[in-house]
Structure 1
Amino acid sequence: MLAGEMEFGESKTKITKTGAATISFNEDGSEANSSELKIKASTRSKVLIYSGVPIREEVALGGPFVMNTKEEIREAFRDLQLGEFGPPAVKK
């Protein structure tokens, strides 16, 4: 939640500013069996909702990095320290 207060789902779960929630879905569902998310704002509100298909991969966390393994985390820190992390900066 970026601002305000909202209620989510049939349970009317309240989330307020800076709050976060994970909403799951029926993995056995199909296009023919659609689902619906009910949202009700209690006050003037802003919310950011992300959606995606689960990738079912291992997750490793380290500092600001999220990768699949601890070795990938170490490589990311090494690249960052060497100035090789990410694409080269482009001057305009």
Structure 2
Amino acid sequence: MKDIKVIPVYLPQFHTIPENDEWWGKGFTEWVNVKSAQPLFEGHNQPRIPLNHNYYDLNDVETLKWQCKLAKEYGIYGFCMYHYWFNGHM
């Protein structure tokens, strides 16, 4: 089992982009969805609030450095970066 490498899927929708502003309203990110989550049953822990209310912005290079440091600390080998393709550009 030592050869198994942990590589989580990294969804980068935690920053604003012009397409989301146009389609969903100015300032939309996945944090909007996270904050508006509602419990579906008794004991359901929703919304899930990030530690220290850290609704980070992936446009901030320091955020990416912080996440890479955490990943290294906890044995994450790398990330599978998900991205969107809009009419010929990422």
TM-score of the superposed pair, with normalisation by structure 1 = 0.24
| Structure exhibiting the larger radius of gyration computed from Cα positions | 1
If asked which structure has higher relative contact order (CA below 8 Å, sep 6+), I would say 2
**Higher normalized strand content (fraction of residues):** 1
